[in-house]
Amino acid sequence: MVKICCIGAGYVGGPTMAVIALKCPDIEVAVVDISVPRITAWNSDQLPIYEPGLEDVVKQCRGKNLFFSTDVEKHVREADIVFVSVNTPTKTRGLGAGKAADLTYWESAARMIADVSKSDKIVVEKSTVPVKTAEAIEKILTHNSKGINFQILSNPEFLAEGTAIEDLFKPDRVLIGGRETPAGQKAIKTLKDVYAHWVPEENIITTNLWSAELSKLAANAFLAQRISSVNAMSALCEATGANVNEVSYAIGKDTRIGSKFLNPSVGFGGSCFQKDILNLVYICECNGLPEVAEYWRQVIKINDYQKSRFVNRVVASMFNTVSNKKIAVLGFAFKKDTGDTRETPAIDVCKDFQKIYDNMQKPAFVFDGRNIVDVEKLRNIGFIVYSIGKPLDAWLKDMPAVA
């Protein structure tokens, strides 16, 4: 029986390994973590993260071929394939602070693998890492390996939070990068055989190590770039009287462009886009490509601009001060977990709006950072409504925000 161990029981490690265990009953999967509360939660009825469908998958395999444990060393020692899915945040101190990825957790995981291993292993980069990380990891492993053969693979994860299980069941593609040597190709085949339990062969792409590492950063940069592009358009829409929803619908109909990721908003958030683009910018700078670095940095700059534009609009509309004013924030997660608006409570919230208006001091404002409220209805109630990229009402035109 093939044994898999995954270091890091987070948003990626937990769901990914649960799905592998479900789809591969012939494989034993152990997910390990240094965090005792996280592992305790994975072994309880209150899983540490919420993803639609996750609980069902975990319940079907936990205790059979899926195990959660804090005994990191034991499971690493026994495994044939070790996934490393630890966090890789942006560095806060030292060289590259504020941009480069902090690989401290990765490095300590690699050193531990080298220390405890007694048999050959495939080590899989699941975390998002800078291109060329595999080279550094290889050095750590081989210099401490006591003759053990390690093959490093890059297998970045493309799941999105909120749809993780769906994405893992039906991935657009699985990407596996490895060394172009016979041993590297054999390792690629072993990992490919795992995914082939449920992913059609044509959706499993194999590349060299550096292409796979870079593709993850590139994918996130392209996705974020679309958000910044439509948000940049939203500012121009407000200045000209165009409606950004109409513009994005019109351009999205072009099959070369496509309609996904063209929703204007207050900007992207979450744990990945910003950190991965900053990392990409840093890598470009280190490779002597300042123009390319500046191009991608602009995606972040527009995102920051969009956030401050929204806040400035809020403050300017309310006579340039929010002191002693009460502001309610509806919805605080970085994104919703579905695009389905049937029966959404938001509909009731909108109906409830008349009551809210009656109880508010006048003038009463609504600032919609996700373009979900019915602007006309709210304006008819009496609200002054700011909705990103849509024609402004007279009040907002008279109180221009300074970006």
Question: Binding site for NAD(+), residues?
Answer: 8-13, 33, 38, 86-90, 127-128, 161, 272-275, 342
Which is the catalytic residue, given 272, 284, 286, 350? Answer: 272
| Residue of 18, 29, 30, 38 that binds ligand NAD (CB under 6 A) | 38
Which CB, 235 or 272, lies closer to ligand NAD? 272
CB atoms within 10 A of CB 290: 12
Give the interface segment with ligand NAD, choosing from 3-11, 61-69, 206-214, 311-319 (CB under 6 A): 3-11
| Residue of 12, 17, 47, 66 that binds ligand NAD (CB under 6 A) | 12
Distance CA 123, CA 150 (A): 7
CB atoms within 10 A of CB 388: 26
Asked if 214 touches ligand NAD (CB under 6 A), the answer is no
Do 279 and 217 touch, CB atoms closer than 8 A? yes
Give the interface segment with ligand NAD, choosing from 29-37, 115-123, 188-196, 368-376 (CB under 6 A): 29-37
272 given a catalytic annotation? yes
Site string for ligand NAD, 272-311 (x = CB under 6 A): x---------------------------------------
Site string for ligand NAD, 151-190 (x = CB under 6 A): ------x-x-x-----------------------------
Do 135 and 149 touch, CB atoms closer than 8 A? no
Task: List, in sequence order, every beta strand (DSSP E) within 8-70.
Answer: 27-32, 66-69
Strand order from edge to edge, sheet including 174-178: 66-69, 27-32, 2-7, 81-84, 121-125, 150-154, 174-178, 204-208
Element (H, E) at 346: helix 345-351
Three-state SS annotation for 68-112: EECCHHHHHHHCCEEEECCCCCECCCCCCCCCCECCHHHHHHHHH
Asked if 39 touches ligand NAD (CB under 6 A), the answer is no
Give the interface segment with ligand NAD, choosing from 59-67, 103-111, 183-191, 240-248 (CB under 6 A): 103-111
311 in helix, strand or coil? helix
Asked if 28 touches ligand NAD (CB under 6 A), the answer is no
| Residue of 43, 69, 90, 108 that binds ligand NAD (CB under 6 A) | 108
Residues 6+ apart with CB under 8 A from 269: 334, 335
* Nearest CA-CA partner of 393 in 403, 383, 104: 383
Asked if 40 touches ligand NAD (CB under 6 A), the answer is no
Asked if 114 touches ligand NAD (CB under 6 A), the answer is no
Which CB, 127 or 306, lies closer to ligand NAD? 127
Residues 6+ apart with CB under 8 A from 240: none
Which CB, 57 or 86, lies closer to ligand NAD? 86
Binding to ligand NAD in span 71-100, by CB under 6 A:
72, 85-88
Q: What is the DSSP letter of 62?
A: B
Binding site for ligand NAD (CB under 6 A): 7-13, 32-35, 38, 72, 85-88, 105, 108-109, 127-128, 157, 159, 161, 271-272
Which residues are tagged catalytic? Answer: 272
